[in-house]
Amino acid sequence: MEADTTIEPAELNIQEILPPLFSDFEDAPLPDQNELLDAINQEDYSFEEDDEDEAILAIFESREQEYHELHDQIEASTELLTNLSSFLTSFQTDLQAVSGQLKDLRSRSQAIERRGKGRRSIEKPLKSLIESITFPPSLVTLILDTPVSEAWYPAAHTLSTILSEIHLRKTRVQAASSLLTTAETLRVTAVGKIKTYLLKILNPISASVSTNLPTLQTGVLLKNKPLWEFLEREAPAIAAEIKRSYVWRTRGYYETSFRRYCRVIQTLKTRCPDTSEPIGSLTSSSSLPTTHLNTSTSAVKPNGGNEQTDRELEGSLLANSRIEGEGVLLAWQADEKDLKLPLEALFRSIMVVLLDNACAEYTFLTRFFSRLSLYSTRPDTLATQDRLLNIQSEHATESGSGGAGRSVRKNSIISSVGAGGGLADGWKGSKEPEKEDKEDKERLQKMWHEIFDPALNYVQQLLTTLLTPLPPSLPSLLSMIRLNDSIFQALLDRGCIPLEPFVIRQRLALWPVFQKHMGTNVESLRKLAETAGLGASFLGLGATKVKDSKVESVAVQYVTLFNALLSLSTPADEAMIIGSMTRLRQELARLITSQAGKIKESGPREIFTFTIYDGLVQALRTSFGTGKAVTEEISFWEKARLGK
């Protein structure tokens, strides 16, 4: 064993190891060499050399035992050192083995720690997986043992989520596949209960037209949308059945309501005075009904400007050309035998009722049946939609029942949702939100048409009867056109796309009637002027002569017509209306000139023409004040008054 051998990793203390090895020799110490020499030197060697050898030998022999013991001790020490070296060598080997085992244990410990971390890392996903495919006992109890209620709203969503997870993992997770039977049982039970519950909610729609449909939609059906979404995901066939049931019931509801309401308006139409006679008819009244438009105040301005309040113009052409203002006709009011309304008021009633119901229905369809849920919109948008749906459509629904009285529309639906407000912020015209799926939009519009097309047929028939056999007066027609334009703008603001084509068709139908009726008035006035220019000898027996009072009446009708049309015109069509009135003005001037030509004396003739021209100028100034069209009109008659 080498002297510099180092034993690692344990540190050995030789001083602690050796004493036990020599413990047997502590009682027999080795003789000191110096003492031995001193003892030899002190011997008396008086004998000769041989004797000295013998003496030395004797000394050694006398101590032979000691030397043997010393030799034995040395051999024992050598043996002990050899054993110690062997022990230390084996101890070093054992230490190296222990060191290797410690390293192996350290490696195993690190591997175990890594496995522990791996298991801890999958603990949360595993827990999430277990929770996602297991049914909470409370959910199972709710589905199996309780009727459908508001507690089902979150439960339906939870059940749908769990069912989706199970079907998603059934091919990879054995636990998920083992739950398929339980999942199907819960799904079938939930679908059956929800179907019965929703059909029960829809029953009042087909039971009576007195049902307040907007209240049912907003107060009941919209709250149950989570149940409908559950059916849409888990039972599409049942969802389609519920949808067909809703369409069928609401279709009958609107068809019956609008049929009754149109019948009421047709009854009132028969009571309306016939104001469609041309201005030049000899049998026409002395003037146009002045109740249509107040022409005696300077508050009325060109281009439809108006400084009077709506209350002061109730029942006027201007009031009936707007959505805002007085309430529409209620069905029970037709029982009042003395009630008479102008045609433009009847037109406004049916169009506003159609607007309110159509927009409310389309808003509900968009919120309830859309696959792109509108609940993700901002709260202010949802509040706007709620206001739209809460519109009381009593005009149609009360067609078969009584009411408290005629309501007053102080603010229209447009003003109630704000300027430009609609189903969603940012809608402009018919532009749909970018996120809305085109296919979903087309599907909703198709549903709306399935519901409203029968009602639209009744409305179309009614509008046709309002224009036939004789069209309304020109101011009434223009008032209808203005209201129709307001209806169309309201549809754009509210985003009710399906009704837009119907309103456009009404505009395309009204303008030709207006232009044709204007041509009829011009032609009648031309014939009247020709008749006035003929002498009595040229008129047949029994022919009606044109009297001065008739000319004055025509002049009054002209001013009333001019004021009415100009107040209802817009910058877009003012030029066309002024052009038609210019033709009418020329024929009126011819009539006045022809009638004045019958007066032989110049004095009375000049008085006659001056009186009519001055009356026209004063009426125009009093009615409108200033304005380009009015200024030109006044200038024309002033020149005629001065004989220029």
Select, from the ranges 282-296, 475-489, 594-608, the one with the highest average predicted confidence (pLDDT). Answer: 475-489
Burial class from Cβ neighbours inside 10 Å (0-12, 13-18, 19+) for residue 104 reads exposed
459 and 264 Cβ atoms separated by less than 8 Å: no
| Torsion angle (degrees, nearest 10) of CA 595, 598, 601, 604 | -30
60-92 pLDDT, tens digit each: 778 888 888 888 888 889 989 998 898 898 888
Is 280 a residue whose pLDDT tops 80? Answer: no
The full set of domain ranges for the chain reads: 14-87, 128-251, 254-274+292-514, 528-536+543-641
* Model pLDDT, residue 426: 32
Comparing 388 with 578, the larger pLDDT belongs to: 578
Query: In the 8-state DSSP scheme, what is residue 219?
Result: I
- Distance from C-alpha of 102 to C-alpha of 325, rounded to nearest angstrom: 96
Residue 11: what pLDDT?
Answer: 47
Read out DSSP for 313-378? GTTSHHHHTSSSEEPPPPGGGGG-TT----HHHHHHHHHHHHHHHHHHHHHHHHHHT-SS-GGGS-
CA distance 81 to 84: 5
Secondary structure letter of residue 44 according to DSSP = -
Predicted confidence (pLDDT) at residue 300 exceeds the cutoff of 50 = no
Residue 43: pLDDT band with limits 50, 70, 90: low
pLDDT of residue 128: 74
Residue 129 has pLDDT above 50, yes or no: yes
* Assigned token pair, 510: 């009204």
Calpha distance 157→261 (Å, rounded): 42
Q: Is the pLDDT of residue 379 over 80?
A: no
Q: Is the pLDDT of residue 455 over 90?
A: yes
Is residue 310's pLDDT more than 50? no
Q: Rounded to whole angstroms, what are the CA distances from 247 to 120, 205, 213, 313?
A: 55, 10, 13, 41
Tell me which residue has tokens 């029968």.
454
Weakest mean pLDDT among 76-80, 377-381, 453-457, 519-523: 377-381
For residue 399, is pLDDT > 90?
Answer: no
pLDDT exceeding 90 applies to what percent of the chain?
27
pLDDT value of position 16: 52
Supply the angle between the helices 225-234 and 236-269 in degrees, to the nearest 10.
Answer: 130
Helices (H) and strands (E) counted in the chain, each on its own, are: 24, 2
pLDDT in tens, 504-543: 999 999 999 999 989 988 898 888 888 877 654 444 444 4
Instruction: Check residue 154 and give its pLDDT.
Output: 92
State how far the Cα of 119 lies from the Cα of 581, in Å rounded to an integer.
92
Neighbours of 150 (CB within 10 A): 10
User: What percent of the chain is modeled with pLDDT above 70?
Assistant: 73
**Residue 493 pLDDT level (bands cut at 50, 70, 90):** very high
According to DSSP, the β-strands at 325-326 and 408-409 are antiparallel
pLDDT bucket at 315, cuts 50 / 70 / 90? very low
- For residue 292, give the H/E element and its range: none
Residue 300's SS3 state is strand
* Tens digits of residue pLDDT in 568-589: 888 888 888 889 889 999 989 8
The dihedral through the CA atoms of 333, 334, 335, 341 has a sign that is: positive
Token pair listed for 593: 């000139």
Nearest 5°: the CA angle 12, 18, 22 is 170
Instruction: List alpha helices for 372-473, DSSP H.
Output: 379-389, 394-397, 413-416, 438-467
Which residues face 409 on adjacent strands? Answer: 325
348-385 burial, b at 16+ Cβ within 10 Å, e below that, comes to bbbbbbbbbbbbbbbbbbbbbbeeeebeebeeebeebb
Q: Is 107 exposed, middle or buried (0-12, 13-18, 19+ CB in 10 A)?
A: exposed
Q: What is the pLDDT of residue 457?
A: 95
Which amino acid makes up residue 490? Answer: A
- The tens digit of pLDDT for each residue in 185-227 reads 888 999 999 999 999 999 999 888 888 999 999 999 999 999 9
pLDDT at position 314 is 38
Nearest Cα residue to 483 out of 294, 265, 270, 325: 325
What type of residue sits at position 123?
E
Residue 498 has pLDDT above 90, yes or no: yes
Among the residue ranges 78-82, 133-137, 157-161, the one predicted with the least confidence is: 133-137
Mean pLDDT computed over 319-342: 85
Q: Is the pTM of this model over 0.95?
A: no
pLDDT of residue 202: 93
Q: Mean pLDDT throughout 458-480?
A: 89
Q: How far apart are the C-alpha atoms of 146 and 41, rounded to whole Å?
A: 126
| pLDDT, mean of residues 370-375 | 61
561-570 average pLDDT score: 86
Look at residue 49 in the predicted model and tell me its pLDDT. 59
Task: Give the rounded distance of the alpha carbon of 231 from its chain centre.
Answer: 21
Structure tokens at 304: 């439809």
Q: Measuring CA to CA, how many Å separate 187 from each of 37, 151, 200, 234? A: 117, 17, 20, 8
Query: What φ, ψ does residue 325 adopt, rounded to 5°?
Result: 120, -140
pLDDT of 327 higher than 60? yes
| Orientation of helix 628-641 relative to helix 602-624, angle to 10° | 170
CB 478 within 8 A of CB 337: no
What's the CA gap between 225 and 218, in Å, rounded? Answer: 11
The arithmetic mean of pLDDT across residues 548-573, rounded, is 86
Q: Work out the angle at residue 356's Cα, subtended by the Cα atoms of residues 353 and 360, and round it to the nearest 5 degrees.
A: 140
C-beta neighbour count of 122 within 10 angstroms: 10
Using a 10 angstrom Cβ sphere, with 0-12 exposed, 13-18 middle and 19 or more buried, the burial of residue 32 is exposed
DSSP code, position 31: P
Span of 24-33, 264-273, 589-598 with lowest mean pLDDT: 24-33
- Tracing tokens 């009727």 back to the chain, one arrives at 147
pLDDT at 465 over 80: yes
Report the distance separating Cα 593 and Cα 586, nearest Å: 11
Phi and psi based region of residue 643 (left: phi greater than 0; alpha: psi -120 to 50; beta: remaining): left
Q: Between these two residues, 354 and 18, which has the higher pLDDT value? A: 354
C-beta of residue 96 within 8 angstroms of C-beta of residue 132? no
